[in-house]
Structure 1
Amino acid sequence: MAGSKSPTPCGCFCFSRASFAWVGATLLLLADWVLLRPALPRICSLLMPTELPVLRVWVVGLSRWAVLWLGVQGVLKATLHCKSESARVHGWLAALEPLAAALGLALPGLALFRQLDSDRDADSTRLLFWGSRPDAFFLTYAAALPAAALWHKLGSLWAPSDHGDSGDKVRQLLGCLGSEIRRLPLVLVLLVLSCVGEMAIPFFTGRLTDWILQDRTADAFTRNIALMSILTIASAVLEFMGDGIFNSTKGRVHSHLQREVFQAVLRQETEFFLQNQTGAITSRVTDDTSSMCESLSENLSLLMWYLVRGLCLLAFMLWGSLTLTIITLVTLPLFFFLPKKLGKWYQSLEAQVRKSLAESSQVAIEALSAMPTVRSFANEEGEAQKFRQKLEKMKTLNQKEALVYVANLWTTSISGMLLKVGILYIGGHLVTRGAISSGNLVTFILYQIQFTTAVEVLLSTYPRVQKAVGSSEEIFEYLNRTPCCPPSGPLTPLEMEGLVQVQDVSFAYPNSPDVPVLQGLTFTLRPGEVTALVGPNGSGKSTVAALLQNLYQPTRGKLLLDGKPLPQYEHCYLHRQVAAVGQEPQLFGRSLQENIAYGLVQKPTMEEITTAAIESGAHSFISRLPQGYDTEAGEAGSQLSGGQRQAVALARALIRKPRLLILDDATSALDANSQLRVQQLLYESPERSSRSVLFITQNLSLVEQADHILFLKGGTVCEEGTHQQLMENNGCYCAMVQAPAATSE
């Protein structure tokens, strides 16, 4: 039976590979302890002179690194063949390479620190050999494991991933800095110098403590206070310069990012806007983009500053006391584990909050844009209740976010207090034994407090970075999305005739691919002729208009303009030659002059705007307005009536002097005088011979003079001819003309 099938051979194979990875790592550990620990120091003691102990330690460390690296490569190659396990197994195996490097460099680095410290015995480096001090073996692992984990984590931020994880998102966030990223090296240099200067206060505080206890002279005291003050002031100046350079780029980055996102949205095909709600798109372009910019400015600044500061502090702590530094580093996993888990939860909650915000914005936009309908149905309270429901959902998610934030803050605070108590206790014992001086202990405690603060800030910033990653997911989907529409073509001929050929065109909308709208449609639009397209609602007339504007691509067949497919024409050029006016044209909240000239690369003269308005019948009511052509149309043309919007939209099309003019029920809201003017424009205008016209209307009285009439039904042309021919056929067209509703708008 299907349910009783045994595991596949591939599954067993993958299981053995995963097991081998663990076995291989364990064998490397044993080899490091049993073979490398006793053998390498002895070999180097025979080959290297005893007068150069630091050099001997470095040769041992580098040799250890090389041998471990070869073993790691063998383990990695043995597990690469298992595809299903590679992502999971290599998640930790990839950290073995930086671990091998850290193990090899840990002892040489510590030896170099001791050698440079003039207060220590230079020959103390011999105590770091594994043969004489086996505990040094465990010391190297205690120091190498956190370093390897940190290196692997930072490296994963830049490594590409097939799963689109947060590392890829962080790389893209930094990539959004664009050309401004070249300023970061200068900022980092200033931060390093500033952090080094800031170390003067703890350093001199410890030294002054020793001098006070030893009754040193007042001159040395004053001299060191002055030097500390100079270094502190220099540190503040350098920090100010770094912050100034960094903050000066924030505004440019914000504008650059919003522009890129908005342009990416504008490049998408028409189906994209049908499948995504306007409120959701608006939320991505505005709210989510602002959140990303906030993370790239404030949080990135905090990360850079406290990371550099933490590394400088760690170096000075190693210089001061190796034992206390190791104790501090061993506690670091307590700082990393819980914040990492909470950060993932925080990221998930933020994505849910953004989705909920987009949904509530969509409810508000729909209600506010249709207020006459809401009021006419007395559904104000219903819309308010629906909006409240969305807000309640978002309120619950915000409360969970707050809980995660408090839990993260509490865990880091408790860990920090326990660490301070432990350092004071162990440091006191070291002072009583004479291992370090009282001043060095004071200096180390000040370093350690600042280091712990830096770690706490980094860990508190990490969830906010995760929050930005959660909110940026949809934005990067927009930025990386390739439009399904064909790219702009190269054709921009100087002369165009305006001959349109629709050849065996079929079409179905992408969201309903099984519902054909047009089927085998074929007809021709000729210059100087008016072709009327009529038919019942839902027959596909508006779809034909959309296809001729290159808003969609036919699923079959071709649309030719002067014998060339529409996609082969350059985008702006094509839409100068093809102009359309719909039943409910969209105007913008700008002046009427700007609406008429909308989309033209070269700004038209006022005379050209007025001429187009006169042709469309818009000049008569525009001239009566107090501000004339400078009058604001209002949001979506709300300050104008339906007929006035159609007249302005018609002027917007005519000013282009198109070779193909499409009127898609564009006279439905016009009064009798305006409709008469449109008839004169179509049939008596001097420019009639220079353009093809596709006239789509339900008012059949306006198409009687058309040169050619197409009756569309079910996505196909079932009748065609002149008005007289179709009336004589006594078919569908004749029945529609004679229907009582034919004379109505």
Structure 2
Amino acid sequence: MKPLTTVVNLTAANACVPVVALLDSGSAGNFISGSLCRQLKLKTSPSPLIYQVHSVTGKPLSRKTIRRCDIVSRITTDTNTMSESLSEKLSLLMWYFMRVIFLFGSMMLLSLRLSVFTALGLPIIWIIPEFSGRFYQKLSVQVQESLAKANDVATETFSSMKTVRSFANEDGETERYKKCLEGTYALNKVEAAAYAASTWTNSMSSLALKVSILYYGGRLVTGSDVSSGDLVSFVLYELQFTSAVEVLMSYWPHVKKAVGASEKIFEYVDRKPEIPPDGSLAPPTLKGHVRFENITFAYPKRPDTDVLKKVSLELKPGQITALVGPSGSGKTSIVSLLERFYQPQNGEILLDHKPLLSYKDQYLHEKISVVSQEPVLFARSVRENIKYGKENASDEEIQAAAKLANADDFISNLPKGYDTDAGEKGGQVSGGQKQRIAIARALIQKPQILVLDDATSSLDTESEHRVYSALRKDLKSCTVLLITHRLSGVENADHIIFLREGEVVEEGNHDQLLAKQGYYAEFAKQQNTAIHRNNAEDVTFTDQ
């Protein structure tokens, strides 16, 4: 009865312990998932967009660009796959592994020969899940990449819904997304077929082991090497043993699948951005004197094409410096370098006579505010959008910044005033209103360097004039970099720099550059011609 009592006790433990393991694994899964999401967010939030991928040994593998769809897929699908497999499956895997060790020890006490015979059959059984596990690991990576592509299509479509509907291409985007899902579905079918084949093979190999043990045990009983009672006890132990081994083999592919998902996750967590480490400077006062000295820059995707070629320029505090030039001349690239989103291949950028790289990144972005041509507003109130960079801003500060941006009047006339929802990406306000809210958001931080990258392109001439007049009046000590294609904004700048094909070809004030009769004079002539042409068309339309 003693062996039978032991088996009963083991069975009872088998029923109770997995429940406790599942309770613990649930908490562990949530912790792992949350921790991985935080790590991914921290690693993908900084400005560097290009990074070096390293292997587990630290050896560089490849140079990649972060795609938004990949980040979304890593944070959602991969983290869930990894956390669920590691928390639930791995905990049970460890439990059954310890159970196998204990049962095998009990089996050795009953019959050393039968135990050795059982051990000799285990490697043959273990080969199957090992090969299937490797296949699962590779297949898991392919599935995650396929899901990332599908996420990319969905994200791109939803974020550009107006464009899609304007071209009546809803069916085309649906078909594109369907093709991506069909690829994922095909991989899932292969995965399911592989799992079914692996499970069937595991069961058959376990059955073969049991039959072989019964046959060999019967021979030992016939030869009086083992008693019939010990054989019965051994078989009962062996049934528990093979059951635990089958569980190990069935869970092992899931763990390998989690390993495949984790490879993509830790590729991002362990990434090494191609940017120098954060600086240490955070002076209490900053003048905002910027100098570009012989800057040569090419984007990582086009390393052979220099966007900027030995560019030297200066932005002085208290002055409005205008960057002018045709599209593709490198104006926005200068802003990206100033924000440290990229690093130049040659040359140096100085801020208050010290290298830009020596400043803390957070400090730098607190002192530099940038408003782009297409600013992004968040799906929250206008008030929350304006104080986005300064959460503790008072209502008086918010209103003062809005007045400075010539936005207070139209905001006050909105249905709920400053509490009106701006909509996703600012879809509930017009382009000009969005730009003025973005300017207010930049001004509320009281930056030392303000960059307006074609930030008034959607404003009418009167609104643009009011904004520039307010900036000149209230930001006397601020360094302002103005990028625009409008002559009305450029002609009142203190200093004008004309860029052409990545090079500084002319600089001076409005009158000086007109007197040179060079590139800027041609630009001004084209602007005036366009203005006269538009006025003539308006008069003709009115007469009709």
TM-score by length of 1: 0.66
Cα distance in structure 1, aligned partners of 2:13 and 2:294: 77
| CA displacement at 1:276 relative to structure 2 | 3.1
Which of 390, 411, 415 is equivalent to 1:626?
415
- Indicate whether 1:708 and 2:487 are aligned: no
The separation in 1 between residues aligned to 2:15 and 2:518, in whole angstroms, is 89
- Distance in 1, Cα, partners of 2:122 & 2:131: 15
1:594 maps to 2:384 = yes
In 1: Cα distance, 2:292 partner to 2:362 partner:
21
Aligned counterpart, 2:284: 494
- Where do residues 260-299 of structure 1 align in structure 2 (5 Å cutoff)? 260-267=39-46, 269-271=48-50, 275-299=65-89
Q: Distance in 2 between matches of 1:693 and 1:369?
A: 32
Q: CA distance change for structure 1 residues 716 and 673 in 2, over 3 Å: closer, same or farther?
A: same
2:26 match: 247
**SS of residue matched to 1:709:** strand
TM-score (norm 2): 0.90
1:723 aligns with 2:513: no
5 Å-filtered alignment, 1:88-103, equals none
Which segment is superposed worse, 355-364 or 653-662?
355-364
Q: Deviations over 1:522-579 (max 9, x none)?
A: 2211111111111111111111111122222122222111111111111111111111
Deviation string for 1:433-461 (max 9, x for gaps)? 55444443332222111111111111111
> Relative to 1, partners in 2 of residues 1:277 and 1:741: Cα closer, same or farther, differing over 3 Å?
farther
How many angstroms apart in 2 are the aligned matches of 1:389 and 1:515?
A: 35
* Structure 2 residue aligned with 1:322: 112
Q: Judging changes above 3 Å, is the alpha-carbon distance between structure 1 residues 336 and 488 closer, same or farther for their aligned structure 2 residues? A: same
**Cross-structure match for 1:733:** 520
| Distance in 2 of aligned mates of 1:677 and 1:498 | 24
Q: Please say if residues 506 and 520 of structure 1, whose CA atoms lie closer than 8 Å, have aligned partners that are also in contact.
A: yes
Q: Distance in 1 between matches of 2:301 and 2:279?
A: 26
Contact 1:269 1:551 in 2 (8 A): yes
The aligned amino acid for 1:716 is E
1:670 aligns with 2:459: yes
**515, 540, 546: which one aligns with 2:330:** 540
1:202 to 1:675, Cα distance in 2 relative to 1, 3 A:
farther
Partner of 2:476, secondary structure, is helix
Decide whether the 8 Å contact of 2:497 with 2:508 is kept in 1. yes
| 2:55 match | none
Corresponding position of 2:56: none
Q: CA contact under 8 A between 1:201 and 1:232: conserved in structure 2?
A: no
Structure 1 residues 742, 532: closer, same or farther in 2, change over 3 A?
A: farther
**Is 1:508 aligned with 2:298?**
yes
Alignment deviations for residues 314-338 of structure 1 (CA, whole Å, 9 cap, x no partner): 1111112222222221211221112
Whether the 8 Å contact between 1:492 and 1:573 is mirrored in structure 2 is yes
Instruction: Provide Cα deviations, 1:184-226, integer angstroms capped at 9, x if missing partner.
Output: xxxxxxxxxxxxxxxx9954278xxxxxxxxxxxxxxxxxxxx
CA contact (8 A) 1:343 1:466 kept: yes
Look up the match of 2:394: 605
Structure 1 CA distance for aligned equivalents of residues 325 and 515 of structure 2: 18
Asked whether the 8 Å contact 2:29–2:88 carries over to 1, the reply is no
**Residues 1:387 and 1:241: Cα distance change in structure 2 (over 3 Å):** closer
* Residue of 301, 307, 312 corresponding to 2:97: 307
Q: Could you say which residue in structure 1 is the equivalent of 2:433? A: 644
Alignment map for 1:341-420 (pairs within 5 Å): 341-420=131-210
In the TM superposition, what is the alpha-carbon distance from 1:278 to its structure 2 partner?
A: 1.3
Deviations 1:687-740 (A, max 9, x none): x22201111101111222111111111112212121122222222212212213
Whole-Å separation in 2 of the counterparts to 1:305 and 1:274? 40
Tell me which amino acid in the other structure corresponds to 1:297: S
Match of 2:38 among 259, 276, 288: 259
- Say yes or no: does 1:657 pair with 2:459: no
Shift of 1:405: 0.6
Q: What is the aligned counterpart of 2:5 among 197, 204, 217?
A: 204
RCO greater where, 1 or 2, for CA within 8 Å and sep 6 or more? Answer: 2
Secondary structure (helix, strand or coil) at the match of 1:331 reads helix
Q: Which string of whole-angstrom CA distances, capped at 9 and with x for unpartnered residues, describes residues 10-38 of structure 1?
A: xxxxxxxxxxxxxxxxxxxxxxxxxxxxx
Amino acid at match of 2:496: I
Which moves more between the two structures, 635-644 or 699-708? Answer: 635-644
In structure 2, stretches of 5+ residues that fail to align are 52-62, 535-544
The 3-state SS of whatever aligns with 1:513 is coil
* Structure 2 Cα separation of the partners of residues 523 and 596 of structure 1: 31
Counterparts of 1:106-117 in structure 2, within 5 Å, are none
CA shift in 2, pair 1:681/1:376, >3 Å: same
Q: Which has the higher strand share?
A: 2
Number of residue pairs matched by the alignment: 521
**Using the alignment, how far apart are the partners of 1:708 and 1:307 within structure 2?**
75
Q: Which residue of 693, 698, 706 maps to 2:480? A: 693
Indicate the percent of aligned positions where both proteins have the same amino acid. 47
Q: 1:291 to 1:234 in 2, by over 3 A?
A: closer
Closer/same/farther in 2, CA of residues 242 and 374 from structure 1, 3 Å limit:
closer
Residue of 109, 121, 124 corresponding to 1:334:
124
Is the 8 Å Cα contact of residues 583 and 668 (structure 1) preserved in structure 2? Answer: yes
* Contact 1:205–1:443 under 8 Å retained in 2: no
Match of 2:340 in 1: 550
Q: Does 1:570 pair with 2:371?
A: no
Q: Per the alignment, in what secondary structure is the counterpart of residue 507 of structure 2?
A: strand
Q: How far apart are 1:399 and its partner, in Å?
A: 1.3
- Name the counterpart of 2:60: none
More helix by share: 1
Retained in 2: the 8 A contact 1:268–1:485? no
Q: Which residue of 1 aligns with 2:542?
A: none
CA contact (8 A) 1:205 1:439 kept: no
> CA 1:608/1:716 → structure 2, altered by over 3 Å: closer, same or farther?
same
Separation in 1 of the partners of 2:476 and 2:2?
A: 87
Query: Post-superposition shift, 1:657?
Result: 0.7
